[in-house]
């Protein structure tokens, strides 16, 4: 007898991307529709929460229908409805949650609330299966964390940022260099083409700490720019971008490798929007190769926020029949370790 395929319709609205996906058995993406709001928020230099929420409302219905159409799966063939419960912008989260609750109720299907970062981590299983235990480096606009994944669905945060998330630091430096929002891809591109570099500090913190700090690095960049301005000198933006990115990558990669050795893992993965950074992907791959570690890097479409990753993480809950009641609330500060 053929095993029944588990098809989960997943919704992601934690920030400024509206996404709906249908994922089969946690690893096969049948549809992944994403509507980005970047152009809307560019004029403000960052995400405006109220505008983001309204955009989610405008696109949600047709996004669900488009995911169903692309997958070729009828609503009657779905096994469950999943949605990002947190963390994220509360208004944005609520749009997705209300849509998911309504669909689950109408179709009489189980509802699964998902942790956004668990989704980012398990997007890597679209590439290959995890070998436990492993270390996950989570890098995005709102998160910078090292996560020890001892076994399936188990998360222990062993290091995190004490101030700016790495993506936030990229955006602030990009703004200082008069680059467009979001700044990460532009800083990365500028750094890749640099013919020289300005040396900038590394914040290593305590000797045994896996935590991160990027606010001092951002201040160092501003200091370089201000000093040059006072002296009437011009600084090549690519040299600053290269120095900034070199500092960020050095700290991220060094601490990831140190954590992998300390916890005795054989596999690492990278997750989150900044996982699309070419410089970081290259440097981490080289470091893992040198240490004999397996590294999983998700395809670019699964680095930024998307619903397919929510479907992947939801499958963990489906396997254990851990469903979420319909009175579920949005949790903008949701804890990964207790999810």
Whole-number pLDDT of residue 182: 87
Q: Which residues pair with 176 in a beta bridge?
A: none
Residue 2 pLDDT level (bands cut at 50, 70, 90): low
Which DSSP symbol is given to 179?
P
Residue 1 pLDDT level (bands cut at 50, 70, 90): very low
Contact call for residues 206 and 160 (beta carbons, < 8 A): no
Q: Average pLDDT in the 138-147 region?
A: 95
CA 311 to chain CA centroid, nearest Å: 14
Contact call for residues 112 and 320 (beta carbons, < 8 A): no
What is the end-to-end Cα distance of the chain in Å, rounded?
34
Assess whether pLDDT exceeds 60 at residue 92: yes
SS3 content of the chain, % helix, strand, coil (to 5): 45, 20, 35
Q: Average pLDDT in the 228-233 region?
A: 93
CA 185 to chain CA centroid, nearest Å: 14
pLDDT tens sequence across 23-66: 999 999 999 999 987 777 877 777 888 888 999 999 999 999 99
Whole-number pLDDT of residue 27: 94
How far apart (Å, rounded) are the C-alpha atoms in residues 112 and 104?
Answer: 9
Closest CA to 167 of 138, 145, 140, 186: 140
Residue 114 pLDDT level (bands cut at 50, 70, 90): very high
How far apart (Å, rounded) are the C-alpha atoms in residues 114 and 289?
Answer: 33
Would you put residue 108 in left (φ > 0), alpha (ψ -120 to 50) or beta? left
* Preceding peptide of 133 cis, ω within 30°: yes
Q: Average pLDDT in the 290-301 region?
A: 96
pTM: 0.94
Complete DSSP assignment for 130-154: --SSEEEEEESSS-EEEEEE-STT-
The three-point CA angle 328-334-335 to 5° equals 125
Percent of the chain with pLDDT over 70: 99
Which residue has 């109408």 as its token pair?
Answer: 106
Least confident of 29-43, 68-82, 105-119, 301-315: 29-43
Contact call for residues 27 and 296 (beta carbons, < 8 A): no
Which residue has 């994220």 as its token pair?
Answer: 88
Rounded to the nearest integer, the mean pLDDT of the chain is 95
pLDDT tens sequence across 236-262: 999 999 999 999 999 999 999 999 999
Which domains does the chain show, CATH number per domain? 7-121+303-319 (3.30.420.40), 130-297 (3.30.420.40)
CA atoms 61, 314, 32, 38: torsion sign = positive
Contact call for residues 114 and 85 (beta carbons, < 8 A): yes
Residue 323 pLDDT level (bands cut at 50, 70, 90): very high
Q: Where are the alpha helices (DSSP H) in 177-306?
A: 183-192, 215-230, 237-263, 278-291
Phi, psi of 158, deg, nearest 5 = -100, -10
How far apart (Å, rounded) are the C-alpha atoms in residues 214 and 332?
Answer: 23
Q: In what order do the strands lie in the sheet with 134-139?
A: 156-160, 144-149, 134-139, 267-271, 294-296
């Amino acid at each position: 007898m053929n095993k029944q395929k588990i098809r989960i319709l997943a919704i992601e609205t934690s920030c400024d991307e509206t996404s709906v996906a249908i994922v089969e058995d946690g690893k096969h993406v049948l549809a992944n529709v994403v509507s980005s709001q970047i152009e809307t928020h560019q004029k403000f230099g960052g995400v405006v929460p109220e505008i983001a929420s309204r955009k989610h409302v405008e696109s949600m219905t047709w996004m669900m229908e488009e995911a169903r159409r692309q997958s070729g799966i009828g609503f009657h063939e779905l096994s469950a409805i999943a949605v990002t419960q947190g963390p994220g912008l509360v208004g944005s989260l609520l749009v997705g949650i209300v849509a998911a609750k309504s669909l689950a109720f109408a179709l009489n299907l189980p509802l699964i609330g998902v942790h956004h970062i668990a989704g980012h981590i398990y997007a890597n299983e679209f590439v290959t299966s995890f070998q436990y235990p492993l270390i996950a480096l989570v890098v995005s606009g709102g998160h910078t964390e090292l996560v020890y994944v001892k076994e399936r669905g188990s998360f222990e945060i062993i290091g995190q940022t004490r101030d700016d998330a790495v993506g936030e630091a990229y955006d602030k430096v990009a703004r200082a260099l008069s680059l467009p929002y979001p700044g990460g891809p532009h800083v990365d591109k500028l750094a890749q083409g640099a013919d020289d570099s300005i040396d900038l500090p590394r914040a290593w913190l305590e000797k045994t700490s896996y935590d991160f700090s990027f606010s001092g690095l951002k201040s160092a960049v501003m200091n370089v720019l201000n000093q040059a301005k006072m002296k009437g000198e011009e600084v090549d933006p690519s040299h600053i971008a290269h120095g900034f990115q070199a500092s960020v990558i050095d700290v991220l990669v060094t601490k990831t490798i140190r954590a992998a050795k300390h916890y005795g893992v054989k596999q690492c993965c990278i997750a989150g929007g900044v996982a699309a950074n070419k410089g970081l992907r290259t440097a981490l791959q080289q470091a893992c190769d040198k240490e004999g570690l397996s590294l999983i890097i998700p395809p670019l479409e699964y680095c930024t926020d998307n619903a397919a990753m929510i479907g992947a993480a939801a499958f963990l809950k489906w396997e254990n029949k851990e469903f979420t009641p319909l009175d579920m609330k949005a949790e903008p500060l949701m804890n990964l370790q207790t999810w």
